[in-house]
């Protein structure tokens, strides 16, 4: 485990990275100033400067690891700086702009012929016919706008339900799945290291097998679960599993549902410790087995959500209504655009074209975001950060073990004064 007392900017050769020092110094100043913000004696100009710096600084609002967002600043994305954010957002999806291009073509395909029929300069229709067409369009304008509003409200209502459902599933996977795996492993490590054994091989295996379970989820959803090279690269090279353990894992008799079935090894560790007499009572045994069950249940929850998607009929109907809405809005706005263009009403023309692309862009973006949220393990830009979680699992496990082996001095003094045999 790394020595936390060593300066973060010190290199392995003893040199100091100047950029790291600058960043560290700036962070220290900012953190100090943030504490000063709560002080009533802090000058108002200082508060204003810090607020503007936090909201509009040129620093990236998000941090990335292997193309996946690991953290971001919600406050900065709540200001005008949001217009400068692109990486990691839905704006990077080319399909959104392609569909806007298609809608623009539909919009022009309706607007230009109707304008030509109403235009005296082009003269595709006789004077009475032009006036009659213009009058009809003017009479139907309110009905066209009402119909467009009804379609928009229907699409917005269905999208809100869909988004609520997908965010709930995503959050359940994160908290009830990944969170349960980490919580169970942490409890097992703390209990085993304090009451059962401090054997490094045992404690290391408990942490490694949980990390392997997590990585196997990513490997499975990315379609590489049967690729030996990928398994070796993701599990053996980082030191999560040994070659022998990987060979056992890929046995033809039980190489199905590997992320969940590997938790049987955790139960085997507890059983072995019980057989060796290191778990000295049944209460501790039951508690440790329950924690293993909670960790396995977390993996099962993840697999259930990923394998059982929202009913296809609902998603198809929702997508159909949204795309139909977009096309209808493009057609209706094109009809109104032709009349506004004849009247040379530039403001109304801009409003109508903006209406034909802004709402469809928003609805399409929500559909794309929900599609990404449906599977945060498949390698998309909205994935869970695998390497960050893996590192967190590893470092937290080591910290628990290290903290348990170095209690405060007053605890050691109390233990030395009143030694007694543990009942556990």
**Cβ distance 257 to 400 under 8 Å?**
no
- Per residue in 204-223, pLDDT tens? 999 999 999 999 999 999 99
Nearby residues of 378 by Cβ (< 8 Å), 6 or more positions away:
221, 222
User: Where do the domains of the chain lie?
Assistant: 108-139+313-373, 170-309+381-404
Q: What are the tens digits of pLDDT across the range 297-347?
A: 999 999 999 999 899 999 999 999 999 999 998 988 888 888 888 888 889
Banded pLDDT at 134 (limits 50, 70, 90) = low
**Residue 11 to residues 6, 20, 28: CA-CA distances in angstroms?**
10, 10, 20
| 3-state DSSP assignment of residue 70 | strand
The DSSP bridge partners found for residue 68 are 65
Helices (H) and strands (E) counted in the chain, each on its own, are 16, 2
Say how far apart CA 222 and CA 214 lie, in whole Å.
13
Residue 235 pLDDT grade (very low, low, confident, very high; cuts 50, 70, 90): very high
The predicted model gives 140-144 an average pLDDT of 73
Model pTM?
Answer: 0.79
Asked if residue 40 has pLDDT above 70, the reply is: no
Average pLDDT along the chain: 83
The 10 Å Cβ neighbour count of residue 4 is 8
% of the chain residues with pLDDT over 90? 48
- The mean pLDDT value for 270-289 works out to 94
Give the end-to-end CA distance of the chain in Å, rounded to a whole number.
Answer: 29
Residue 192 has pLDDT above 50, yes or no: yes
**Burial letters for 144-167: b for 16+ Cβ neighbours within 10 Å, e otherwise?**
beeebeebbeebeebbeebeeebe
Average pLDDT over residues 66-79: 84
Task: Give Cβ neighbours of residue 231 (< 8 Å, ≥ 6 apart).
Answer: 219, 224, 225, 246, 249, 250
């Amino acid at each position: 485990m790394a020595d936390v007392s060593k300066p973060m900017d010190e290199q392995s050769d003893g040199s100091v990275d100047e950029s790291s020092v600058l960043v560290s110094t700036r962070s220290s100043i900012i953190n100090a100033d943030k504490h000063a913000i709560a002080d009533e004696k802090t000058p108002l100009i200082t508060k204003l400067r810090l607020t503007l710096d936090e909201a509009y600084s040129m620093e990236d609002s998000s941090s990335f690891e292997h193309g996946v967002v690991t953290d971001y600043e919600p406050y900065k994305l709540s200001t005008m700086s949001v217009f400068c954010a692109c990486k990691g957002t839905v704006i990077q999806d080319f399909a959104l702009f392609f569909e806007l291009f298609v809608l623009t073509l539909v919009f022009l395909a309706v607007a230009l012929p109707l304008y030509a029929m109403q235009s005296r300069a082009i003269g595709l229709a006789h004077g009475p016919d032009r006036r009659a067409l213009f009058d009809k369009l003017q009479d139907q304008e309110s009905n066209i706008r009402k119909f467009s509003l009804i379609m928009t409200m229907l699409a917005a209502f269905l999208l809100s339900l869909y988004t609520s459902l997908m965010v709930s599933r995503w959050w359940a996977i994160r908290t009830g799945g990944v969170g349960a795996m980490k919580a169970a492993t942490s409890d097992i490590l703390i209990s085993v290291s304090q009451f059962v054994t401090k054997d490094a091989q045992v404690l290391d295996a408990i942490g490694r097998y949980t990390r392997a379970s997590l990585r196997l989820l990513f490997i499975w959803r990315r379609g590489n679960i049967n690729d030996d090279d990928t398994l070796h690269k993701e599990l053996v090279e980082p030191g999560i599993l040994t070659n022998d353990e990987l060979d056992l894992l890929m046995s033809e008799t039980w190489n199905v549902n590997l992320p969940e079935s590997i938790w049987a090894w955790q139960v085997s560790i507890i059983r072995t410790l019980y057989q060796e007499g290191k778990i000295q009572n049944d209460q501790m045994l039951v508690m440790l087995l329950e924690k293993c069950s909670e960790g396995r249940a977390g993996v099962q929850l993840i697999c259930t959500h990923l394998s059982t998607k929202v009913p296809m009929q609902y998603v198809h109907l929702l997508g159909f209504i949204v795309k139909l809405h977009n096309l209808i809005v493009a057609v209706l706005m094109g009809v109104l655009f032709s009349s506004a263009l004849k009247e040379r009403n530039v403001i109304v023309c801009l409003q109508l074209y903006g209406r034909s692309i802004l709402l469809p862009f928003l609805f399409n973006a929500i559909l794309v975001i929900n599609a990404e949220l449906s599977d945060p393990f498949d390698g998309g830009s909205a994935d869970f950060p695998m390497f960050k979680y893996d590192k967190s699992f590893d470092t937290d496990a080591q910290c628990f073990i290290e903290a348990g082996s170095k209690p405060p001095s007053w605890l050691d003094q109390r233990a030395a004064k009143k030694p007694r045999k543990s009942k556990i």
